[in-house]
Amino acid sequence: MAIVTAPTAKAMGFTEIDAPPRSIIDRCVQCGFCLPTCPTYQLTFSEASSPRGRIHLLRAVSDGRLDLRAAVVREQMYQCLNCRACEAVCPSGVQYGQLVEPARAQIEQAHPRPLWQRMFRTFIFVRVFGDMRMFRLASGAIALYQHSGLRTLVRRTGMLKLLGLDKQDALLPEVPLRFVIPSGQRWQPQGSPHHHVGLFTGCIMSTAFAPTDEATARVLARNGCEVVAVPDQGCCGALALHAGEAGTGRENAKRNIVAFERLELDAIIVNAAGCGAALKEYRHLFHGDPEWSRRAERFSASVRDVSEFLDTLDLVPPGRLDRVVTYQEPCHLAHAQRITAAPRRLLAKIPGVRLVEMEESSLCCGSAGIYNVIRPEFSRRLLERKLKNALQTGADTIISANPGCIMQVASGLREQGKRVRVLHIVDLLDEAYRSV
Amino acid sequence: MLQVRGLLSTMVLEESKSVHNDLISQLQNIVGADSVVSHPAELLVYEYDASLDRHLPAAVVLPQTTQQVVEIVKLANRFDLPVVPRGSGTGLSGGAIAIKGGIVIVTTRMNHILSIDYANRRATVQPGVINADLTHYTEHAGFFYAPDPSSQKVCTIGGNVAENSGGPHCLSYGATTNHILDLELVLPTGDVIHTSGADGDQHGLDLTGTVVGSEGTFGIATEVTVRLTPLPEDTQVLLAIFRSVDEASNTVSAIIGAGIIPAALEMMDGLCCQAIEAAYHAGYPPDAGAVLLVELDGLREAVEELVDQVSTICRNHGAGEVRRARSAAERAALWAGRKGALGALGRLAPNYYIQDGVVPRTKLPETLQFVEQVSRDIRLPIANVFHAGDGNLHPNILFDRQDPTNIERTLRGGLEILRFCVEKGGVVSGEHGIGLEKREHIAFLYTTEDLAVMARLRDCFNPRQLFNPDKIFPPLRGCGEVRDQRVAARLAKEGIYAV
């Protein structure tokens, strides 16, 4: 047995603040069970592109054997979709997500981006996602672009292709002209409410997916909940955290904790899987800060995904919908939150809806936050695989529970000219209730 | 520089940049640039498998066709470089570690099922096909691939062939060697042979049987024809809960002694149950002394009777409770727990040193008592999870490799357990292979003459000993350590600090 002892020379390692915790790295016993579940490993069959390989690279940096600035470290930490499929199958319980985000933060510190990139990132993460008024302004501009006829004009002139923005344009969802602006508005149930819940309205959900936020509130109200769109809430911070912007993520978290603490709520309901996973993990952001750790812990404990919450209720029977559906599992619902049965049970409760399972339903669709923008090639290959699996079921509707997945799958279907709908699970439930 | 041969060749190569560049560009010509790994930092992820040994290779190649493998092997011959075959890297004896550097051939991109012939119950696959995928693809037709190592969702058929892998169901179905009909083998010379006749039968010497279990020292399999087994009509799983390891091991002998061969008969001790339950919530009682997981299969009526018989034997030998899995989902959950047991030990300690010794079933009680005593002596916990039915132990010594005082005690404990197994009429490895980890221990089992005959057989296939060198046989000492230091110095210049 070759024995590893102390490092012999110095490579640039992790700084102490926000380093990937050694205790998590040490949990990996390199059994390899994560390999087949990893989307990037499935595309490359290369060990570096596997969770086990990435953890080993972090171990090597932590041991002082590999320089944090090595190209392979950066490449692999950003090639990872952070879908966390590996976590769900890991027998030793390695919390991989708690490694990759600090690792990215360390890379950002150690390897500063050019000034223009830093300014752009600050603009996006702090100005746009950090300030909902700004976010709504930007979303409004997109809505205007889509609805005013400007888009048709721009597309016809071929300007987008010229600027290399045609792919980005195709990814944009249809943004409605009406947004949900959380300002304390309430949805009342018929009769006396059994539950008081706060709706986490989200950034993209409250704008591009505003109808889904409204559907969520209606479905909850229909099932005996008084729903309040808690004022002063903002973006969950997941996008910033995934991009290694820990400070910005923390600011987002604090604002949401403060906003929701003011009300006595039975649960905080979130309908975006990615946001839900981030909200449930706020406590990891405040290591060494007992006051905020405690507040974050209390906040996270009351967060429920909408499917998870509805599944605990004695559901009012929905109306009939004759549909063949297939379920595309959002990574951050299935892997990060380990919620897989609840959405399927809900679908089974809609009369007329027949669920046909697709192969690899929990393999990432390639959306993964902003992954489809920064890694278009891998993203496209995962999307094609997802569409093939989904279309093979013969379903007329693909159900998901996360805005990123819905946009990604919908854009792929549009490109292929397929007339299959993509819906959030509460949109389908809402439709079923309206059909009564 | 290339005049220096044998042991020093890797070092020479690694120290000579132009030779290295030449090698890499020729490898790239064979498989394309994106299928060659050559930067030291990127090679780090090929320095390990699921065992404890580590060593960096000089280059890693991921071919897709037999022809590419042939050309890589011929190139390695020209450069005097060792060749180490590797699948998913789940081996537990260091078989895929490039202990002398050289080229690692990774088969993970050779992952196509080439043909399935249900009428003749056989399938031909590339070596990188995942074991469980083969069952997944054939289940709908009523078949499965029987050998089921615990890592079956990850490990490759090629790796299984190299290690002659076992698994829980090998008790009644036999190990890998009983399920391999033919191999297309690229020899260390670069020649390609088939080990069986076109009908998958042996005419003349049993080359297939010789190659299975040769741990990558006879060549690299590029196509594997396997036997498909019909799924049993009925399968039932029992979980019997005992107060002590002693009671459970006596029960094992009683079941087999009653003439019953279960499809699988597995034991886990209390420590293992705790780790498994934390990971899988499958219903393993964390406060049990030991449990037996018994699978019975066959015709429905026969299985019912076996369930009754086995339950009675378990109760008569002290089982406080015998649970029967009520659904396929419950069965799957129990098995997921069993098969994830090893990884779940990561919850208890940063490292495990797994032993693979075998003893006659009747010696199980005293062997496990000995393991307990070793655990006390070395002051490290040992978790037991193993194929009780065939006496194949897996005591796992739990330790922390960062703590140097742990390592000496871990190695000593492992050695004592293996010695005991051999004394009791057993062997040092049941199914994980000898590899690097047990190459010194194999001498407990065989005389110098025995080993010499084996080495001569290896040399027929692998005369220059370039294929997976320094595996299986007890090592020669000397220049290795010097070489390691010089390679480390060179790597340090690249920003890689070998430790």
Q: Are residues B294 and B281 in the same domain?
A: yes
pLDDT in tens, B434-466: 999 999 899 888 999 999 999 999 999 999 999
Q: Is residue A7 part of a domain?
A: no
Token reading at B391: 């006496």
Domain span at residue B119 reads 113-230
Our CA-based measurement puts residue A83 at a distance from the nearest CA of chain B, in whole angstroms, of 19
Q: Is residue B1 part of a domain?
A: no
Question: Which B-chain residues 45-74 have CB contacts (< 8 A) with chain A?
Answer: 45-46, 48-50, 52-55, 62
Question: Do strands B113-117 and B122-125 pair parallel, antiparallel, or not at all (unpaired)?
Answer: antiparallel
Residue, of B482 and B169, whose pLDDT is higher: B169
Rounded Cα–Cα distance for residues B49 and B38 (Å): 18
With contacts defined as CB-CB under 8 Å, which chain A residues touch B130? Answer: 36
Helix and strand totals (H; E) in chain A = 23, 9
Q: Is pLDDT above 60 for B478?
A: no
Mean pLDDT calculated for residue range B256-274: 95
Question: Do strands B290-298 and B321-324 pair parallel, antiparallel, or not at all (unpaired)?
Answer: unpaired
Rounded Cα–Cα distance for residues B371 and B418 (Å): 10
In the 8-state DSSP scheme, what is residue B407?
H
Q: Is residue B49 part of a domain?
A: yes
Q: Are residues A76 and A134 in the same domain?
A: no
Q: Are residues A191 and A286 in the same domain?
A: yes
Q: Are residues B206 and B257 in the same domain?
A: no
- Looking up residue A80, the CATH number of its domain turns out to be 1.10.1060.10
Q: Is residue B19 part of a domain?
A: yes
- Helix A273-280 and helix A290-301, axial crossing angle in degrees, nearest 10: 140
Q: Are residues B275 and B204 in the same domain?
A: no
Token reading at B255: 């079941």
Q: Are residues A193 and A277 in the same domain?
A: yes
Residue B327: exposure state from Cβ atoms within 10 A (0-12, 13-18, ≥19): exposed
With contacts defined as CB-CB under 8 Å, which chain A residues touch B436? Answer: 1
pLDDT in tens, B107-151: 999 999 999 999 999 999 999 999 999 999 999 999 999 999 999
Number of domains in chain A: 4
Rounded Cα–Cα distance for residues B45 and B161 (Å): 23
Q: Are residues B307 and B254 in the same domain?
A: yes
Q: Which of B343, B437, B495 sits opposite A31 (nearest CB)?
A: B343
User: Which of these, B340, B394, B348, lies nearest to B90 by C-alpha position?
Assistant: B340
Q: Is residue A66 part of a domain?
A: yes
H-type helices in A266-330, by residue range?
Answer: 273-280, 290-301, 306-312
- Looking up residue B171, the CATH number of its domain turns out to be 3.30.465.10
Q: Is residue A430 part of a domain?
A: yes
Our CA-based measurement puts residue B116 at a distance from the nearest CA of chain A, in whole angstroms, of 21
Question: Which B-chain residues 202-231 have CB contacts (< 8 A) with chain A?
Answer: none
Rounded Cα–Cα distance for residues B329 and A222 (Å): 34
Q: Are residues B175 and B162 in the same domain?
A: yes
Mean pLDDT calculated for residue range B95-105: 96
In angstroms, the first-to-last Cα distance of chain B is 26
pLDDT on residue A326: 98
Q: Is residue A417 part of a domain?
A: yes
CB B276 within 8 A of CB B338: yes
Q: Are residues A152 and A213 in the same domain?
A: no
Contact A2 B128 (CB under 8 A): no
Q: Is residue A306 part of a domain?
A: yes
Rounded Cα–Cα distance for residues A121 and B80 (Å): 51
Q: Are residues A200 and A145 in the same domain?
A: no
Neighbours of A348 (CB within 10 A): 11
In the 8-state DSSP scheme, what is residue B429?
B
Residues near B455 by Cβ (< 8 Å), separated by ≥ 6? B473
Residue, of B485 and A387, whose pLDDT is higher: A387
Rounded Cα–Cα distance for residues A82 and A241 (Å): 11
- Looking up residue B387, the CATH number of its domain turns out to be 3.30.70.2740
Q: Is residue A179 part of a domain?
A: no
User: What three-state secondary structure class fits B434?
Assistant: coil
User: Which of these, A263, A260, A402, lies nearest to A332 by C-alpha position?
Assistant: A402
Q: Are residues B413 and B365 in the same domain?
A: yes
User: Which of these, A335, A337, A267, lies nearest to A304 by C-alpha position?
Assistant: A267
With contacts defined as CB-CB under 8 Å, which chain B residues touch A50? Answer: 45
Q: Are residues A133 and A68 in the same domain?
A: no
Q: Are residues A123 and A196 in the same domain?
A: no
Tell me, what amino acid is at A342? A
Q: Which chain B residue shows the shortest CA-CA distance from A72?
A: B42
With contacts defined as CB-CB under 8 Å, which chain A residues touch B39? Answer: 72
Q: Is pLDDT above 90 for B29?
A: yes
The answer to whether A360 faces chain B, any CB pair under 8 Å, is no
Question: Do strands B59-61 and B103-106 pair parallel, antiparallel, or not at all (unpaired)?
Answer: parallel
* Nearest-5° Cα angle at B427, B424 to B433: 160
Token reading at A97: 């997500």
Tell me, what amino acid is at B380? L
Q: Are residues B372 and B437 in the same domain?
A: yes
Residue A146 CA: distances (Å) to CA of A150, A152, A164, A174, B462: 7, 8, 18, 7, 68
Q: Is pLDDT above 80 for B273?
A: yes
Residue B322 CA: distances (Å) to CA of B258, B267, B311, B312: 18, 14, 6, 9
Q: Are residues B412 and B440 in the same domain?
A: yes
- Looking up residue A281, the CATH number of its domain turns out to be 1.20.1050
Number of domains in chain B: 4
Q: Answer with the one of B310, B343, B376 that is the final residue of a domain.
A: B343
Q: Are residues B364 and B391 in the same domain?
A: yes
Residue A382 CA: distances (Å) to CA of A39, A45, A165, B437: 8, 14, 21, 39
Q: Are residues A49 and A146 in the same domain?
A: no
* CA neighbours closer than 13 Å in the CB half-sphere of residue B455: 18
User: Which of these, B186, B286, B306, lies nearest to B234 by C-alpha position?
Assistant: B306
Residue B308: exposure state from Cβ atoms within 10 A (0-12, 13-18, ≥19): exposed
Residues near B147 by Cβ (< 8 Å), separated by ≥ 6? B131, B160, B165, B166, B167, B169, B170, B173, B174, B175, B176, B178, B179
Contact B350 A29 (CB under 8 A): yes
With contacts defined as CB-CB under 8 Å, which chain A residues touch B111? Answer: 45
Q: Answer with the one of A262, A289, A310 that is the final residue of a domain.
A: A310
Q: Are residues B215 and B130 in the same domain?
A: yes
The answer to whether B350 faces chain A, any CB pair under 8 Å, is yes
Q: Is residue B225 part of a domain?
A: yes
Q: Answer with the one of B294, B321, B343 that is the final residue of a domain.
A: B343
Rounded Cα–Cα distance for residues A161 and B419 (Å): 72
Token reading at B348: 């208890």
CB B83 within 8 A of CB B102: yes
Q: Are residues A279 and A238 in the same domain?
A: yes
Q: Are residues A81 and A133 in the same domain?
A: no
Confidence label for B406 from pLDDT (cuts 50, 70 and 90) = confident
Q: Are residues A206 and A294 in the same domain?
A: yes
Q: Are residues A288 and A325 in the same domain?
A: no
pLDDT on residue A287: 85
Contact A72 B39 (CB under 8 A): yes
In angstroms, the first-to-last Cα distance of chain A is 69
Rounded Cα–Cα distance for residues A300 and A270 (Å): 11
Residue count of chain A, please give it: 436
Q: Are residues B125 and B84 in the same domain?
A: no
pLDDT on residue A4: 35
Of the candidate ranges A281-285, A413-417, B59-63, B477-481, the one whose mean pLDDT is the lowest: B477-481
CB B358 within 8 A of CB B426: yes
Domain span at residue A191 reads 186-310
Q: Is residue B428 part of a domain?
A: yes
Contact A65 B44 (CB under 8 A): yes
Our CA-based measurement puts residue A88 at a distance from the nearest CA of chain B, in whole angstroms, of 10
H or E element at residue A197: strand A195-200
User: Which of these, A203, A253, A207, A198, lies nearest to A231 by C-alpha position?
Assistant: A198
Q: Are residues B371 and B436 in the same domain?
A: yes
CB A32 within 8 A of CB B88: yes
Q: Is residue A3 part of a domain?
A: no
Rounded Cα–Cα distance for residues B143 and A174 (Å): 48
The answer to whether A75 faces chain B, any CB pair under 8 Å, is no
Q: Answer with the one of A281, A310, A339 that is the final residue of a domain.
A: A310
- Residue pLDDT tens, chain A, 436 long: 333 333 445 688 898 878 999 999 999 999 999 999 999 999 999 999 999 999 999 999 999 999 999 999 999 999 999 999 999 999 999 999 999 999 999 998 887 888 888 888 888 888 788 888 888 888 888 888 888 888 887 777 777 776 767 777 777 778 888 899 999 999 999 878 899 999 999 999 999 999 999 999 999 999 999 999 999 999 999 988 888 888 899 999 999 999 999 999 999 999 999 999 999 999 889 988 999 999 999 999 999 999 999 999 999 999 999 999 999 999 999 999 999 999 999 999 999 999 999 999 999 999 988 888 889 999 999 999 999 999 999 999 999 999 999 999 999 999 999 999 999 999 999 999 999 8
CB A326 within 8 A of CB A343: no
Contacts 24+ apart (CB under 8 A), B26-35: B26/B75, B27/B59, B27/B61, B27/B72, B27/B75, B27/B103, B30/B61, B30/B63, B30/B68, B30/B71, B30/B72, B30/B75, B31/B61, B31/B62, B31/B63, B31/B64, B31/B68, B31/B72, B35/B61, B35/B62, B35/B63, B35/B64, B35/B109
Q: Answer with the one of B230, B256, B275 that is the final residue of a domain.
A: B230
Question: Do strands A323-327 and A397-400 pair parallel, antiparallel, or not at all (unpaired)?
Answer: parallel
- Looking up residue A401, the CATH number of its domain turns out to be 3.40.50.11810
Residue, of A174 and B191, whose pLDDT is higher: B191
User: Which of these, A390, A399, A397, A391, lies nearest to A344 by C-alpha position?
Assistant: A399
pLDDT on residue B415: 92
The complex's ipTM works out to 0.90
Q: Is residue A234 part of a domain?
A: yes
